[in-house]
Amino acid sequence: MKILITGGAGFIGSNLARHMNNVHPDWQVNILDDLSTGFRSNLTGLDATFHDGSILDTELLGTVAAGMDSIVHLAAIPSVPRSVAAPRPTHDANSTGTLNVLEAAREAGIEQVIVASSSSVYGSNPALPKSEFDWTRPMSPYAVSKQATEGYPLAYNFSYGMKNLAFRFFNVYGPGQAAGHAYAAVIPQFLDAAMRDAPLSIHGDGLQSRDFTFVGTVCAVITAAIDRKVSSNDPVNLAFGTNTTLLELVDELEKTLDKALVVEHQDSRTGDVRASQSDGLRVRELFPEVTPVPLREGLDRTAQWFVETSDSAAPTP
């Protein structure tokens, strides 16, 4: 089996490549990444062929895609605030980039492309928990670009007979998630601050909630999807129905780290969704063999990684 992971030098992509190495050592893993948000150091120790380049380079993309059995498309500019500050690069990478990947797959005769959409597509829909069949109303350019990211592969199923799969990721976290940049996700931000005995910065009242999903669970689901050639003409929420407020997350981190943490509240951010939770029904139905990692265990493993790497320099491209 030959697999191409776009964005494979990023947090999720490198964890996925490592998971594939461990579970299916016979699989040939290829990675395409321009290192704009990923890090070459994430690939240390991986059995994977690295291609330095962008999904916006259609010629290179076509060359790398040739001969692959499946593509996992993770390459993106993954930030709501960044998209609000500069919407066009987000559109180019996430929307046009996804179209490029699908065209490369179609031309190469690859039936299955698995793409990473986002729970942000639900936007202003207040329903909890959320089903894949609930209406969507994106609140940021990033969310709009992710709606295109999931829409294109599903349309290619109908238009060209492909067997694609679009996952809506819900706040994925875990070892390897960088903290040292302006658009870092909340869990690495909190852990980084806690390790420095600095206040944990919360935008708003802290009662906004998320369905945090451990990266190992995400990797297990994606690998199973490739192994069994799972496809769907509807998007699939890749989350299992947890609902944790940021203040509850702080409490969990205090237990994990065995120390009190100081919280500092700031203004709410434009485009942020108030509450996010999947009903978890379709992912459990499609992947009954995958048992999700509980939040406490995931935080323990993530914190351990932060402690082990705290004396090292931050990753560099």
The verdict on 55 and 93 lying in the same domain is yes
The verdict on 153 and 200 lying in the same domain is no
Q: What does the pLDDT profile of the chain (317 residues) look like in tens digits?
A: 999 999 999 999 999 999 999 999 999 999 999 999 999 999 999 999 999 999 999 999 999 999 999 999 999 998 899 999 999 999 999 999 999 999 999 999 999 999 999 999 999 999 999 999 999 999 999 999 999 999 999 999 999 999 999 999 999 999 999 886 666 789 999 999 999 999 999 999 999 999 999 999 999 999 999 999 999 999 999 999 999 999 999 999 999 999 999 999 999 888 788 888 999 999 999 999 999 999 999 999 999 999 888 755 444 44
The verdict on 166 and 194 lying in the same domain is no
Q: Is residue 249 part of a domain?
A: yes
Containing structural domain, residue 25: 2-172+213-238
Q: Is residue 264 part of a domain?
A: yes
The number of folded domains in the chain is 2
Q: What is the rounded distance in angstroms from the CA atom of residue 23 to the CA atom of residue 297?
A: 21
Phi and psi torsions of 26, nearest 5°: -85, -15
CATH code for position 123: 3.40.50.720
Q: Is residue 159 part of a domain?
A: yes
Q: Is residue 206 part of a domain?
A: yes
The verdict on 52 and 151 lying in the same domain is yes
Tally of CA atoms within 13 A in the half-sphere of 60 that contains its CB = 14
The verdict on 62 and 188 lying in the same domain is no
Q: Is residue 281 part of a domain?
A: no
The verdict on 61 and 204 lying in the same domain is no
Helix (H) or strand (E) holding 89, with range, is helix 87-91
Q: Hey, which residues does 244 pair with through a beta bridge? A: 210
- Around Cβ 44, how many Cβ atoms within 10 Å? 9
The verdict on 158 and 206 lying in the same domain is no
CATH code for position 189: 3.90.25.10
Q: What is the rounded distance in angstroms from the CA atom of residue 208 to the CA atom of residue 47?
A: 39
Q: Is residue 226 part of a domain?
A: yes
What the block records as the tokens of 67 is: 């001969």
Distance of CA 29 to the CA centre of its chain: 18
* Token pair 């005769």 in the structure block, residue: 109
Quote the pLDDT of residue 148: 98
In 3-state terms, what secondary structure has residue 37? coil
Quote the pLDDT of residue 256: 94
The verdict on 154 and 8 lying in the same domain is yes
Q: Is residue 279 part of a domain?
A: no
The verdict on 140 and 263 lying in the same domain is no
Q: Is residue 284 part of a domain?
A: no
What the block records as the tokens of 104 is: 């490369």
Quote the pLDDT of residue 313: 46
Cα dihedral: 100, 232, 218, 208 (round 10): 90
Q: Which of 164, 174, 132 is nearest to 305 (CA)?
A: 174
The verdict on 54 and 144 lying in the same domain is yes
The verdict on 248 and 118 lying in the same domain is no
Q: Rounded to two decimals, what is the model's pTM?
A: 0.93
148 and 160 Cβ atoms separated by less than 8 Å: no
Q: Which of 146, 29, 148, 7 is nearest to 75 (CA)?
A: 7
The verdict on 298 and 160 lying in the same domain is no
